[in-house]
Amino acid sequence: MEKIRVSRLKDFIALAKEGQHIEASIDLKKLIVIPKVHQAENERETEMYILLGEYSFKVEGEVKKVSKTYMYGISEESTKLALREMHIANERLKTDYKRLRKANIIIERKYFQ
């Protein structure tokens, strides 16, 4: 069989809708990044975070990984704002889980905490 060329979540959903059996799992990560911001002659660094879902899809014995960013924020933000952003990320995850389930892709649901 020809190598499967997919790179996005929606590609796997399309394959599943065509009848392809797909197994899936997800790892949730909080990555810390420090981008440099250039403003006029000043340069400053601000620590940020990215809430990331790293999906693993197994199709015909071949495992493919797809990463999706669900939210990003500034590490110095208030706890209330950070919780709100995590809630938004979890709602986005729920939407993707529904899309996967509708395509008959079974995945254990995990959420950011």
Quote the pLDDT of residue 93: 98
Q: What token pair was written down for 33?
A: 């990044």
Could you give the C-alpha distances from 17 to 8, 10, 103, 104, in angstroms and in order? 15, 10, 5, 8
3-state secondary structure of 30: strand
Task: Give residue-wise pLDDT tens across range 84-110.
Answer: 999 999 999 999 999 999 999 999 999
Length of the chain: 113
Query: For residue 21, what pLDDT band results from cuts at 50, 70 and 90?
Result: very high
Quote the pLDDT of residue 4: 58
Residues 6+ apart with CB under 8 A from 102: none
The residue ranges of every structural domain in the chain are: 9-102
pLDDT at 2 over 80: no
pLDDT at 1 over 50: no
Task: Give residue-wise pLDDT tens across range 25-75.
Answer: 999 999 999 876 666 666 677 889 999 999 999 999 999 999 999 999 988
